[in-house]
Amino acid sequence: MRDLAALPKAHLHVHLESTVRADTVAELADHHGVDVPRGAAAYGDFAQFAAHNGAVRDCLRRAEDFSRIAYEFCAEEAAQGTRYAEVTFTAAAHGERLRDPDMPLEAVLAGLAAGQAAHGIECRVIVDHPRKRSVARLRESVRLAVTHPEVVAVGTAGMEDYPLAPFAAVFREAKEAGVGLVHHAGEQCGADSVAEAVTLGLADRIGHGFRALDDPDVVALLRDRAVPLEVCPSSNVLLGLVESVSSHPLPLLMRAGLTVTLSTDIPASTGATLTSEYQLLRDELGFDDDLIARIATNAADASFAPETTKASLRQDIATWRAGS
């Protein structure tokens, strides 16, 4: 049995605010006097999940808070054999809340720089935009991306039935400025949301996207345009979107010829790590190491990493596969 922690991994879909260690949340909550529900995360519904996330967000106020969680993210990921990560951060929302547009992102970048140096991992940032927020806010996210080379993409999250059309011009501007686009779609809503993310949203990758399977035309669209999916089984099960990992449509997506990558999305809530997520492929879906190596390679290929990083990941995944 090859060691999945030793598999060189790229992690493409993980929300920084949903990676904060429980003891860090407790410490920051005490410091700032925030009431955060303690203990194991169990959510009756999406609203409870959102309320918990809101309380964690409220614990992030000073530059040192943001730097700390970014640094700790690097430590946790490196321990899981993640070699390269694109971490999603709702930078403009924090900037607006704290009335300091650049501080939260710059503090995160400082924490990531220190964490990368200490833990030998390479990180980039995706700035995300809740769909219900204004076009001006999305434009602010794009500004943050354009002015910080460590930010590789901008993406939308939140209610997938909220239309992307109002943002279309900003997506085009982002693309022209060389900023990647990565949207959540096909998670809460159906295949139409995936098609919208590709056509109007100009998506380079789709967050989740598994509900594309409901419509063969949308599957064909993803395949023709070679748009990879960031599949996050434990998150889908926790949020009640899929009944169990063993019944997750991930194998069907692969069989349909789509490019599947694997991520954790909300690890502090699910308790999953990227290694345990790969372990589920082996234990619950019966994947052999060829398939596991293929998914790991897909993630390297689908990333916004420099070509040298991609090449080294590909080679090291092949070395892992060739070992015993």
Which is nearer to Zn ion, 122 or 265 (by Cβ)?
265
* 166, two tokens: 């109002």
Instruction: Return the residue nearest Zn ion (CB atom).
Output: 265
Nearest to 32 by CA among 2, 62, 75, 9: 62
Give, as one character, the DSSP assignment of residue 164.
S
Q: How far apart are CA 34 and CA 18, in angstroms?
A: 17
Widest pairwise Cα distance in the chain: 53
3 state SS of 19? coil
* 320, two tokens: 């892992």
Minimum CB separation from Zn ion for residue 33, in Å? 29
Minimum CB separation from Zn ion for residue 129, in Å? 12
Which is nearer to Zn ion, 156 or 297 (by Cβ)?
156
Active-site annotation holds for 187: yes
Rounded to 5°, angle at Cα 164 from 159 and 168? 155
Which is nearer to Zn ion, 128 or 140 (by Cβ)?
128
| Residue 277 touches Zn ion, criterion: CB under 5 A | no
Q: How far apart are CA 205 and CA 17, in angstroms?
A: 21
Q: How far apart are CA 124 and CA 87, in angstroms?
A: 6
From the list 106, 187, 196, 277, the catalytic residue is: 187
Which is nearer to Zn ion, 16 or 292 (by Cβ)?
16
CA distances from 272 to 56, 268, 278 (A): 18, 7, 10
How many residues of this chain interact with Zn ion, rule: CB under 5 A?
1
Minimum CB separation from Zn ion for residue 52, in Å? 15
Minimum CB separation from Zn ion for residue 233, in Å? 13
* DSSP secondary structure string for all residues of 264-304: -BSHHHH---HHHHHHHHHHHS---HHHHHHHHHHHHHHS-
Minimum CB separation from Zn ion for residue 145, in Å? 18
- Touching Zn ion, residues 256-275 (CB under 5 A): 265
Nearest to 148 by CA among 117, 96, 103: 103
Which is nearer to Zn ion, 77 or 293 (by Cβ)?
77
- Touching Zn ion, residues 144-183 (CB under 5 A): none
Q: Which residues, at least 6 apart from 173, have a Cβ–Cβ distance to it below 8 Å?
A: 139, 142
Instruction: Lay out the site mask for Zn ion across 214-253 (x = CB under 5 A, - = otherwise).
Output: ----------------------------------------
Q: Which residues of this protein are in contact with Zn ion, per CB under 5 A?
A: 265
Which residues participate in catalysis according to the annotation?
187
